């Protein structure tokens, strides 16, 4: 058995404005590379105009189109799971949003039930009215709305904890996404930020969630994958598992950074990753996959 796995990826140009290629091209590339398991986790649709990405506006994609795309993704992912059985183990899921603020949890749970997804990647991309990973300018606006960088970090990890407590996702996506633009600026490390991080980790441990060892951070110019060593080592001490994730947005990015991610985990003394395996009837089981 090999070590190649990903539980966060499978975005494609058919359903995502900032990805390329078809979903089958993504899956075929994962099969070609010999993945043990590959998770498909397209973005959940956003149902308000104000949360559209600039490229979506250019394409004329409104909330209705995003919902149609997502339904098509659910159907195609199910077809591919059956078609590639015996060549590649696929798990069907999606990546959540915390939008809109008053009913996001019910909507995300509803999408899972409606389309029979086997798992979810619980991700926080926004705080208030701001995306955290769109641009440095928007990131700084988010920080200003939180009273500064310390407030932003605290509120971000509070949001992660809330998401995990309410949705109990199988996978927590890019845990320290605030590093995307905050790493170069210099994020604060204070008693308040550490307490918020600890609360988020405690929620993840209680839910039995797996951390996404997300190698997209390397493509963004960060020093390490998400999460950074201090968080990852604290998670390890709490018994929280992790799994590699290429966060692929097209066939060219399938497997991107996974060799570096594997080396990173081994350097930190992590010898196994925790993967999800289809168990029938829309359920998954957790398995350990050795990294060496």
Q: Could you tell me whether strands 272-280 and 283-290 are parallel, antiparallel, or unpaired per DSSP bridges?
A: antiparallel
CA distance linking residue 96 with residue 167, whole number of Å = 10
Cβ contacts of residue 217 below 8 Å, gap of 6+? 174, 179, 180, 224, 225, 226
Name the residue ranges covered by the structural domains of the chain. Answer: 5-290
Pick the CATH number of 5-290 from 3.60.20.10, 3.40.80.10, 3.20.20.70, 3.20.20.140: 3.20.20.140
Give the tens place of pLDDT for each residue, 102-120. 789 999 999 999 999 999 9
* The token pair that represents 237 in the structure block: 């001490």
In the structure encoding, which two tokens stand for residue 47, read together?
A: 């149902």
Could you report the per-residue pLDDT of 166-220, keeping only the tens digit for each?
999 999 999 999 999 999 999 999 999 999 999 999 999 999 999 999 999 999 9
CA distance 62 to 157: 30
Contact 72, 14 (CB under 8 A): yes
Q: Tell me the whole-structure pTM to 2 decimals.
A: 0.96
Three-state SS at 197:
helix
């Amino acid at each position: 058995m090999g070590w190649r796995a990903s539980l966060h990826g499978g975005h494609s140009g058919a359903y995502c404005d900032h990805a390329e290629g078809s979903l089958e091209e993504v899956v075929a590339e994962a099969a070609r590379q010999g993945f043990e398991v590959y998770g498909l986790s397209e973005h959940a649709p956003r149902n308000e105009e104000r949360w559209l990405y600039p490229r979506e506006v250019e394409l004329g994609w409104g909330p209705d189109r995003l919902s149609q795309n997502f339904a098509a993704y659910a159907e195609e992912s199910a077809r591919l799971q059956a078609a590639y059985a015996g060549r590649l183990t696929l798990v069907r899921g999606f990546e959540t949003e915390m939008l809109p603020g008053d009913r996001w949890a019910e909507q995300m749970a509803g999408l899972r039930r409606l389309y029979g997804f086997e798992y979810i990647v619980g991700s926080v991309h926004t705080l208030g009215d701001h995306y955290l990973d769109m641009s440095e300018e928007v990131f700084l606006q988010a920080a200003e709305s939180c009273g500064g960088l310390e407030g932003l970090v605290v509120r971000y990890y509070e949001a992660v904890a809330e998401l995990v407590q309410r949705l109990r996702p199988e996978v927590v996506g890019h845990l320290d996404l605030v590093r995307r633009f905050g790493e170069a600026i210099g994020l604060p490390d204070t008693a308040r930020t550490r307490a918020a991080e600890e609360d988020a980790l405690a929620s993840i441990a209680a839910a039995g969630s797996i951390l996404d060892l997300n190698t997209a951070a390397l493509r963004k110019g960060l020093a390490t994958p998400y999460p950074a060593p201090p968080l990852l080592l604290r998670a390890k001490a709490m018994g929280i598992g992790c799994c590699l994730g290429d966060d692929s947005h097209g066939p060219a990015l399938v497997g991107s950074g996974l060799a570096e991610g594997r080396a990173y985990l081994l350097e930190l003394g992590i010898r196994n990753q925790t993967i999800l395996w289809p168990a029938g009837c829309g359920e998954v089981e957790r398995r350990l996959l050795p990294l060496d």
